[in-house]
Amino acid sequence: MNEQYQHVYEEVSKCNRCGFCQAHCPIFAVTGSEKNVARGHNAHVRGLAEEKMEINADFKDALFECLLCKACVSNCFPAVRTDKAVVAGRAEYIKRVGQPKAMRLVFHTLLPDQEKLGKFVRLLALGKNTGLSKLARAMGILSWFGKDMDKAEGIVEKIPRTFFRQKVGTLRLEPAKVKTEVAYFVGCGFNYMLPHVSESTVEVLVGQGARVKIADNCCCGLPAYGYGDMEAARNMARKNIEALEKLKTEVIVTECGSCSAFLKEYPELFEDDQIMKKRAEAIAKKVKGFSEFMAPQIGALSANSLEGKKITYHDPCHMSRYQGVVKEPRDLIKKIPGVTYTEMPEADRCCGGAGSYNIMHYEQSMKVLEKKMENLKKTGADILTTECPGCVIQLSYGVRKAGLPIKVLHISELIKEASRKG
């Protein structure tokens, strides 16, 4: 028995190979290959755990082509946690087969450090916005990150000039009448790529009478966890727990579906450290996603420029299947007068963004996205909204590529517009 898999062995042993997961896996729908579906993952991990198989470089595609969207888990009769099994496989893979140097740099040096990451993004932005990226591409720099990186470059349209954190000083964080106090966890996707969404979130929070304390957090650690780098994920979790504890608020809000999901899972990272686990639990209990926090308390909204618009919602995997937050965002949208909410077929089917999946596995990600766009077209919506930066970026790219006249907005932008007075 390979100790590495202790925590998932019972899980994968419950897979009785019925194969129903084939009907739900977005990647299997694209490849039709057993190595990509939960039953195959469970068989691999069981083989590795029982030491009937040995990890080697050939496992790379099987292990890393999974979106971790959990569609299989939600539809599995014994609910086998294939997502955890895949991550366990990845963890052993990077330990035994190796981790690309660039990945190590990202997880151990850049993501834990706002400033370093900022500088790096700045450098990327310079390339991106000035055409230097062509040079970088020619030099093969982008391919450090994966074989599809250069093709994937168009996914991010433009990197903003000013990060959210640089604007904090100019923002109103104190409401006229303080009803409550919340910590705002700044997700990297918003800080560096979509700062206007963070601004919306803060504005809506303050508008609701919340004093907003900006957390001095780094990356939540999910990207590292997803790649099986537990050491890096724990390191970031520790930093963030410390940063959040300092703020001493009862509630921690983030409009990033991935961050909120992972913050809630922090306790699971510290099974071997009961003291840290307790601290993680205390933090996890306070975490609320944007719609989860807002839906029960938001008051009157007005349509403003949204008047007459048809709106649909895409469920981020980390909101729906990881947190079970499905009703709240829809409730929020339905509270806006003068708009129509229309449900998208398979609204909770993964868009293929999945963190950096669209960059690492561009071709497959695009095929997953095509299906999303087909479903989106069926809604006839004017606005597509969601609650995750990765989804916003991926869906915007999809709409742009397909030439659809549909606006993609984060739900906090939507609510900000609907909260505007007159």
Partner 1 sequence: MEKEHVRDALQRIVGKENVLWKDVDLAVYSYDAGLVKGKAGLVVFVDNSDQVAQIVSFLCKEGISYVARGSGTNLTGGTVPLNEGVVIEFSRMNRILEIDIENERVVVEPGIYNLTVQNALAEKGYYYAPDPASQKASSMGGNLGENAGGPHCLKYGVTSNHVLGAEVVLPSGEKTWIGGKALDAPGPDLMGLLVGSEGTLGIVTKIVCRIMRSPERVLTMLAIYSSVEAAGQTVSDIIAEGIIPATLEIMDNVVIRAVEASVHAGYPLDAEAVLLIELDGLTDGMDEQMKRITEICEKNGVVSHRIAKDANERNILWAGRRGAFGAVARIRPAYLVCDGTVPRTQLPKALTEVKKISEKYRVPIGNVFHAGDGNLHPLILFDDRDADELERVHKAGREILKACADLGGTISGEHGIGTEKLNEMFLVFKGDDIRMMSAIKQAVDRKGLCNPGKVIPAQEARP
Nearer to partner 1, 50 or 181 (CB): 50
Minimum CB–partner distance for residue 32 and partner 1 (Å): 3
Nearer to partner 1, 205 or 368 (CB): 368
Nearer to partner 1, 81 or 416 (CB): 81
Pairing of strands 383-386, 180-184: unpaired
Minimum CB–partner distance for residue 15 and partner 1 (Å): 7
Rg (the chain; Cα; Å) = 21
Minimum CB–partner distance for residue 53 and partner 1 (Å): 7
Give the three-class secondary structure for 384. Answer: strand
At 25, which helix (H) or strand (E)? none
| Closest C-alpha to 197, from 398, 400, 414 | 414
Minimum CB–partner distance for residue 375 and partner 1 (Å): 14
Give the three-class secondary structure for 247. Answer: helix
Minimum CB–partner distance for residue 78 and partner 1 (Å): 4
Task: Give the DSSP letter of residue 183.
Answer: E
User: How does DSSP assign 265-323, residue by residue?
Assistant: HHHHHTTT-HHHHHHHHHHHHHEEEHHHHHTTT------GGGTT-EEEE---HHHHHHH
Minimum CB–partner distance for residue 40 and partner 1 (Å): 4
Minimum CB–partner distance for residue 13 and partner 1 (Å): 5
Q: Which two tokens stand for residue 36?
A: 């990509």
* Rounded Cα–Cα distance for residues 181 and 199 (Å): 17
Nearer to partner 1, 43 or 121 (CB): 43
Residue linked to tokens 């087969």: 97
Contact between 68 and 86 (Cβ < 8 Å):
yes
Q: At 392, which amino acid appears?
A: V
Nearer to partner 1, 364 or 385 (CB): 364
Give the three-class secondary structure for 30. Answer: helix
Nearer to partner 1, 93 or 107 (CB): 93
Positive or negative, the Cα torsion across 114, 119, 123, 125? Answer: positive
Nearer to partner 1, 62 or 406 (CB): 62
Give the three-class secondary structure for 382. Answer: coil
Q: Which two tokens stand for residue 343?
A: 């449900």
Nearer to partner 1, 78 or 296 (CB): 78
Nearer to partner 1, 18 or 139 (CB): 18
Minimum CB–partner distance for residue 225 and partner 1 (Å): 23
Minimum CB–partner distance for residue 304 and partner 1 (Å): 36
Contact between 26 and 67 (Cβ < 8 Å):
yes
By CB under 8 A, name the binding residues for partner 1.
13-23, 28, 32-35, 39-40, 43-44, 47, 53, 56, 58-59, 62, 76-80
What is the end-to-end Cα distance of the chain in Å, rounded?
Answer: 66
* Rounded Cα–Cα distance for residues 146 and 151 (Å): 10
Nearer to partner 1, 115 or 343 (CB): 343
Minimum CB–partner distance for residue 297 and partner 1 (Å): 30
Q: At 317, which amino acid appears?
A: C
Query: Other CB atoms closer than 10 Å to residue 17's CB: what's the count?
Result: 10
